[in-house]
Amino acid sequence: MDDKIIIDLYWERSEAAIDETSKKYSRYCYYISFNILQDNENAKECVNDTYLRAWNAIPPKRPENLATFLGKITRNLSLNKYKQRSAQKRGMGHVELVLSELEDCIISPKDVENTVSEILLTEAINSFLANVPRINRSIFVRRYWYMSAIRDIAEEYNISESKVKSMLFRMRKELKAKLEKEDIYL
Amino acid sequence: MKNEKLLNAIGQINDNYIIDAQPREKKQKIAHLRIIIGFAASLTIIVSIISIFHYYSVKQPYNNSEQTNKSYNVFTGGAGKVCSMFLSDKKLFYTNDKNDLFYYDKSIKKEEFISNIEIESGGLVFEEDGFIYYGNGNAIFKRNLKDNTSQQLLSSKNIWLDEVKKGRLFYHIAYKHSLKEVYTEFEYRIYDISTGNDIQLFKRSSDNWDLFDVENNIIIADASLENDSGLFFVDIITGTKKKLLNIRVNEGYLTDNKFFCSSDDDKGLWVISTKEEKNYKIALPGEEKEGFFIDRITGFDDFLYIAAYYEESNKIIKLNLQTYDTSIIADGFGRVWDLCTDGNVVYAYDTKSPFDMGQITVIDIK
């Protein structure tokens, strides 16, 4: 079913909206959630919570892109669940690995007052991504938005794992340089 | 935590980037054997119909008066994605994602399995004088294509091969942070195959070099350095590093002291002279179209063959290096991952979608 029709169903407060969303996007949302949580039950729970959040948000919202709207909700819910769960555990899980990679992009602030808002930071990342080759951008997004495993990215883009690691290394370094140049401190 | 702030900010990036990177869906396994058999039978019929359609309509040679190719034949990469395709003594060899090495017998138009090799999945293979060179992260190997025997040349943790030219291996060793999965530093070296002499090219640092090509003692590389990035020229003998272009280069081919390359930042084909301060662009068909980009470049003698994507398919463009005349010799390709030529035929490996295992197409250019 077309996304526009699904969104109309939400606006009509029809429960079919959730069925149709599930039919079309359950695998996509599950992929995002499972990458973060690495747990079937919790991932399924997050996907179901995504539908509920979407139900509560539409209306008044009319998302321009339903896939990314749902994806962003799933990602946030899954990261929150991950935080709750990891508070009880210690160790280097998948999200910790991704976070540790992102440390490479961080510049220590000279002045604590001068740290940037998340919105400005997103704008800087968007502008950085706009200026990297398409394949590099997709690999960056796959690793740090979808949190895909390096092995999966390599397989899908037909390149070796070492090449993926090398490309990610470069992009983190270049993002750091860009943030530094624009005086963006975290 | 600061890295969490960054992770959250990434979470709100432009929707188009998220869609562009959308993962392929992996098909779920159906347990019931009869369903599988029934499905397989139906699929065989569908695939046959699609193949016939595909063969006769989708990848027909470009209908143009300048067309030079006469015949096509298409084959798969041994039921796996092709990772590296190369020619040896005018014969086509390739590896797939199962690390199998294949040979394509042009006379009978059939692919032949040679053996499974000790390569990293997706890794590159370089051919020189009947030998191939490749690595798996722990070692670099040399394999004789005639008798299929292999020999380990170098070993180290995280050792990767970048290029092989005139008896020299250009390789790097990557270093990881103790707690991270990713690399943080690199050291670049050159190994002489005949003498065993091993010298350092660039000392260990966070500088990252993506070697495009080597001609005599000149390296052309896309560099990401501490305070700079772009396309660089490196003289191995003198150690001189010179920046050639300020833009990121995606694909390039070095021949006769000229580097032909493409960039997402500035569409079209750049020509960079390694001898003189002279850079210019060559007009390619379709470069004014929205979404135009160059996937791959290869060459032989006086011609370059360029896989350029626009209007929803990749075209193979032939470029005369003397006159810079261009002609489209084939059309209808998906994403072109590999391209090579022996001057008589062009081999192009493409996939139509992430689900597609792809195929190698043989384009007769004589």
Domain harbouring A151, CATH code: 1.10.10.10
Residue A148 located in a structural domain: yes
The whole-model pTM stands at 0.74
| DSSP letters for B328-358 | EEEEEE-EEEEEEE-SSEEEEEEESSTT---
Phi, psi of B302 (to 5 degrees): -95, 15
Tens of pLDDT along B268-313?
A: 899 988 877 788 899 999 988 888 889 899 999 999 999 999 988 9
Q: Quote the mean pLDDT of chain B.
A: 83
Residue A44 sits in the same domain as residue A106 = no
Residue A14 sits in the same domain as residue A61 = yes
User: Is residue B366's pLDDT more than 90?
Assistant: no
**How many domains does one find in chain A?**
2
Q: Do A134 and B20 touch (CB under 8 A)?
A: yes
A88, A117, A143 - which closes a domain: A88
Residue A33 located in a structural domain: yes
Q: What is the model's pLDDT at position B61?
A: 42
Q: Do A156 and B24 touch (CB under 8 A)?
A: yes
Over the range B17-46, which residues count as b (16 or more CB within 10 Å of their CB) and which as e?
bbeebbbeeeeeeeeeeeeeeeeeeeeeee
Residue A56 sits in the same domain as residue A123 = no
Closest CA to A147 of A50, A78, A90, A49: A78
Residue A174 sits in the same domain as residue A103 = yes
Q: Read off the amino acid at residue B11.
A: G
- B208 touches A166 (CB < 8 A): yes
Q: What is the model's pLDDT at position A87?
A: 65
Nearest beta carbon to residue B83 from set A99, A130, A158: A158
Domain harbouring A9, CATH code: 1.10.1740.10
Closest CA to B223 of B212, B238, B235, B239: B212
Higher-scoring residue by pLDDT: B63, B104: B104
Higher-scoring residue by pLDDT: B264, A64: A64
User: Is residue B77's pLDDT more than 70?
Assistant: no
A24: closest chain B residue by CA: B25
Given CB atoms, is B123 within the 8 Å cutoff of chain A? yes
- B216 touches B237 (CB < 8 A): no
Residue A108 sits in the same domain as residue A38 = no
Residue B117: pLDDT band with limits 50, 70, 90: very high
Q: CA-CA distance, B164 to B341, in Å (whole number)?
A: 18
User: Is residue B53's pLDDT more than 80?
Assistant: no
Residue A186 located in a structural domain: no
Residue A53 sits in the same domain as residue A104 = no
Query: How is residue B171 written in tokens?
Result: 């390789």
Residue B192: pLDDT band with limits 50, 70, 90: very high
User: Is residue B76's pLDDT more than 90?
Assistant: no
Q: Do B21 and A31 touch (CB under 8 A)?
A: no
Q: Give the lowest-confidence range in A98-112, B2-16, B82-96, B98-112.
A: A98-112
H/E element holding A80? helix A66-88
Query: How is residue B282 written in tokens?
Result: 């060559």
Nearest beta carbon to residue B137 from set A118, A162, A186: A162
Given CB atoms, is B224 within the 8 Å cutoff of chain A? yes
Residue A64 located in a structural domain: yes
Chain A hits for B223, CB-CB cut-off 8 Å, are none
Given CB atoms, is B237 within the 8 Å cutoff of chain A? no
Return the residue in A32, A78, A96, A141 with the most chain B beta carbons within 10 A, the one to mutate for interface testing.
A141
- B295 touches B311 (CB < 8 A): no
Residue A68 sits in the same domain as residue A144 = no
A88, A121, A143 - which closes a domain: A88
Residue A93 located in a structural domain: no
Given CB atoms, is A105 within the 8 Å cutoff of chain B? yes
Given CB atoms, is A57 within the 8 Å cutoff of chain B? no
User: Is residue B54's pLDDT more than 50?
Assistant: no
Residue A142 sits in the same domain as residue A81 = no
H/E element holding A16? helix A16-37
Given CB atoms, is A129 within the 8 Å cutoff of chain B? yes
What number is the average pLDDT over the span B178-198?
Answer: 87
Q: Do A154 and B18 touch (CB under 8 A)?
A: no
Residue A132 sits in the same domain as residue A66 = no
Tens of pLDDT along B86-98?
A: 999 888 999 988 8
Higher-scoring residue by pLDDT: B108, B306: B306
Residue B164: pLDDT band with limits 50, 70, 90: very high
Given CB atoms, is A163 within the 8 Å cutoff of chain B? yes
Residue B58: pLDDT band with limits 50, 70, 90: very low
- Write the CB contacts of A186 (distance below 8 Å, at least 6 apart in sequence): A106, A107, A109, A115, A116, A121, A179, B2, B5, B6
Q: Provide the chain B residues 306-365 that lie in CB contact (below 8 A) with chain A.
A: 337, 351, 354
Q: Do B11 and A159 touch (CB under 8 A)?
A: no
> Distances from the Cα of B308 to the Cαs of A31, B150, B320, B337, in angstroms?
32, 36, 16, 11
Given CB atoms, is B210 within the 8 Å cutoff of chain A? yes
User: Is residue B362's pLDDT more than 70?
Assistant: yes
H/E element holding B292? none
A58, A88, A118 - which closes a domain: A88
- Write the CB contacts of B233 (distance below 8 Å, at least 6 apart in sequence): B218, B219, B220, B240, B241, B242, B243, B244, B274
User: Is residue B60's pLDDT more than 50?
Assistant: no
Distance (Å) from the C-alpha of residue A14 to the closest C-alpha of chain B?
Answer: 26
Residue B165: pLDDT band with limits 50, 70, 90: very high
In terms of residue numbers, what domain contains A21?
3-88
Ranges of chain A with pLDDT below 70: 87-92, 108-116, 186
In this prediction the ipTM stands at 0.88
Residue A68 sits in the same domain as residue A114 = no
What number is the average pLDDT over the span B168-176?
Answer: 92
